[in-house]
Amino acid sequence: MFGTYNLDVHLEEEGIELRVEGTGRRRRYYRKAGGEEVEKVVYADRAKLIVCPVEPVNVPDTTISEHLLTELTTPAVIASGSRDTFYVKFPVEIGVFVVDSRDVERIDIFTKTQPKYTLYGPPERGIVCKWWKSDLYMEEPEVDRLFEGVMQVDVKNDYYQWMELHHVVFWAFDMKIFYNRHAFMHAHLTIQKRTIGETSFITHKPKNMHKAVDIYQAKGLKKLKEKYVMEWGFQ
């Protein structure tokens, strides 16, 4: 499903159907996933269609949240001063873009996952986050690639005490998504204090992977900061 295609593509996989029909400048885009169908007319001379995973905070509405909170089914207890790497899964949202030499335009985003939101922090100051629950894996897990992606998390505990990690919050503006067979992100978590930590993403493209279209970059929205500070703890 993921990849770059000409504007005459027809893809079908795991209950998702996506096609572009017609010839010349006027094409008809059609997508069916779950119970939802979308149709759009695309006017383009020379353009390509990119289908790739995007920041998982866009469905059902892009205005609800810019953050992803991953709740760990099994909490992790981390010793002071230690570093480790674990893996979690994240919900996949699939973006469809038309791209030519001048611009990239998002025409569709959909997901097979059931979206759910949660509040991180107290009601008066907290933020609404997209919620996802994942097991914690010591090695890269197998995933249903159109449903979940893999996130590698390098964790470092700079606090002088043991810390118990129940959830991690990531900022979509900062996400760097890559894909080949499945979607992949590489994040970093630094625990600084009992209730304060910092999450960021590693920009380095892993071998044999493609970089997904960055929605915020595509729209010319500059990234003023590249990290998210978790202010309300890890439990």
- What is the β-pairing status of strands 183-191 and 148-157? parallel
- Tokens 């500070």 belong to 229
- What is the β-pairing status of strands 67-78 and 10-13? unpaired
Cβ at position 172, least distance to another protein in Å: 15
- Only one of the segments 85-93, 116-124, 152-160, 194-202 lies at the binding site for another protein (rule: CB under 8 A); that segment is 116-124
Residue with Cβ nearer another protein (124 or 139) = 124
Q: Which of residues 64-93 bind another protein (CB under 8 A)?
A: 64-65
Q: Where are the beta strands (DSSP E) in 100-231?
A: 104-111, 117-120, 127-134, 148-157, 163-171, 178-179, 183-191, 197-201, 210-211, 227-230
35 binds another protein (CB under 8 A): no
Size of the site for another protein (CB under 8 A): 22
166 binds another protein (CB under 8 A): no
Closest CA to 127 of 69, 55, 84, 42: 69
Pick one of 3, 60, 81, 206: the residue that binds another protein (CB under 8 A): 60
211 binds another protein (CB under 8 A): no
Q: Cα-flanking dihedrals φ and ψ of residue 203, to 5°?
A: -85, -15
- Binding residues (CB under 8 A) for another protein: these are 60-61, 63-65, 114-119, 123-128, 131, 219-222
